Chains A and B, each alone.
Chain A
Amino acid sequence: MRSGRDPCAFSRMDLFTRKKVQPTEPILIPHGELTFLTKQEILMAHKIFSELQDRENGPYSSRVSMEKIHTLPELKSNPFRKRICHVFSTSDMKDGSLSFEDFLDLLSAFSDSATLEIKSHYAFRIFDFDDDGTLDARDLEKLVNSLTGETDDTRLTGEEMRQLISNILEESDIDKDGTVNLSEFQHVISRSPDFVSSFKIVL
């Protein structure tokens, strides 16, 4: 048996030639190996994605802009929607636009069966607002501000914010360098009882 001659998985898996394929045709990715999604979920994702593509005004492109992605109800009220798009985007322009592969990456990381490791990795990058690989006090402040919402009555005062950030750093900054790095972050997250269940997006 020449293993893996599954037509679904291999016949048209070449994404580099994707442009030549009809855009409406679902692109079948070897789902079992590359994502945590099932075949149905990928088809569903493709449907949603191509709808978004159709709504894109201007010339046809394989990418969907960040604004369009944000119209999805699942992301509409998420305070981290911009960060999510930026993290998963592979665009050269750094505009947060997503290709279909990026979109699948996103869904896979947020899927039910994704591991804690991958979830915490992406969570870290979402929270890392300045993309410098560590969560410093400024990142944490931005993070807390996103969590408390934009309105003034829910926002924390400066004093509270300082207290909060120093407390966070005291807890999770194990090596006391003033920032939280990925391994520290994962250490904290892995003990949290409800991270895996809340870090989910279902289409």
Chain B
Amino acid sequence: MEKKPPKKLQAKHKSPRSINFKVIKLCSNHSRNKLKPEALILAKSEEQLLSAYGKTNGCVLTRDAGLGIEYCDSLDQNLQMVEKGTSLLKKMEISVAEAEKRTGKNAVNMQETYTVYLIEMRPVDAASEGTNPVPDSLWRRYSEFELLRNYLLVTYPFLVVPPLPEKRAEFVWHKLSADNMDPDFVERRRVGLENFLLRVASHPDLSTDKIFYSFLTEENGWKETVFETGFQAKADSRLKALNATFRVKNPDKRFAEMKHYGDELQSVISQLLRVRARAADRLYGVYKVHGNYGRVFSEWSAIEKEMGDGLQSAGHHMDAYAASVDDILEEEEHYADQMKEYLFYADALRAVCRKHELTQYELEMAAQDLTSKKQQREELATGTIRTFSLKGVTSKLFGQETPEQREAKLKMLETQIEEGEELVKERNAECEEFVKSAWVDIERFKEQKDHDLREALISYAIMQISMCKKGIQVWNNAKECFSKM
């Protein structure tokens, strides 16, 4: 399997962090090896662009041999992740370098085509020394990522587990393919998967998980290891419980609010993505129709004498204008992907709140059960029947029980009550534990979210600025040609 030679990066702002970034950024983007014809136009305005963006975190925007400018939207997130430095990330650099198509037999022995992704692990020290040893690597497909995530969800129900990139393309505008095999989709998924791994690797708790580590290191037999943990049994029961409707009497207020927040966040981001996709479609139309000017100016110039040259060259600029929209919208997809991540994060957040409700509910159930048992004991002891029970009715109808029977019952109840109290204590502790750890993680998540979304908005604004500057440039060029008509 061929490894593409790493692109040489030129850091605009040299900072100690930039070295760590080299490799991560490299692997994220080396397949984006496109030359952008409009980039020369950007040359002058880049300075402003870079200084505006650079202010935020002194981080790196790279230039591809002076011909292209690439934003790394996730760059800043990576920075934060590396900075917060889990011990894992301190040692290793993780990336999803490539994607490949495979065919094979699936579970029902049918031929299928699927995509696999190459995960690379590189020791940190080697990168900073400038040497480039061959990284440890293995191939994984999307379903294995899913398996990993499900495992994490079950094992750490109190954590907001980072989401995977979407399984199927949604919120697509017409030019974007909804086909899972489409190379652009695959590429965006590769970036999303890498992002997922980095998120997990930078989480203080998740990064230490053994299964996660073996996901990164053991190609064969990993699946078996996961199943051996028996998490699936827990998963099934948990899933059933979560899907069932239940009413909690005393949920923690903060979690109730968080759940509500999660709902609202999900709703608003969905709407944002939907409208954005429609707007992207329209914008595409606007730019592309200008290409028709190119053609008609060319035809027109053929029947003109002095006006011909000016018209012809103006036409070229109209063509360039029309072509520029592809890159613009590709950049915008990055923004959409960032939003999508938080759309799915909202879901993960809601899941934690729901799990809290579940533990709370189980506690309440246990407490309720205990109370009723205690009441039964009381009734039995005092002989009064306060609570309705079938036994009570039948005994009334068919006569009271013997004292021996009553003794036996009482004894049973006592044991049950003892067990019940144990259970309540257990569940209570569980609940408290859950609330404590979950809230810590939720706070961590809140900070991360505020930071990331702010960064996303900044890079979105920068994108818009770049688009405007390109537009001004093109129309100025056209204007010059017209003035020479």
A-B complex is real: no
Partner-B contacts on A (CB < 8 A): none
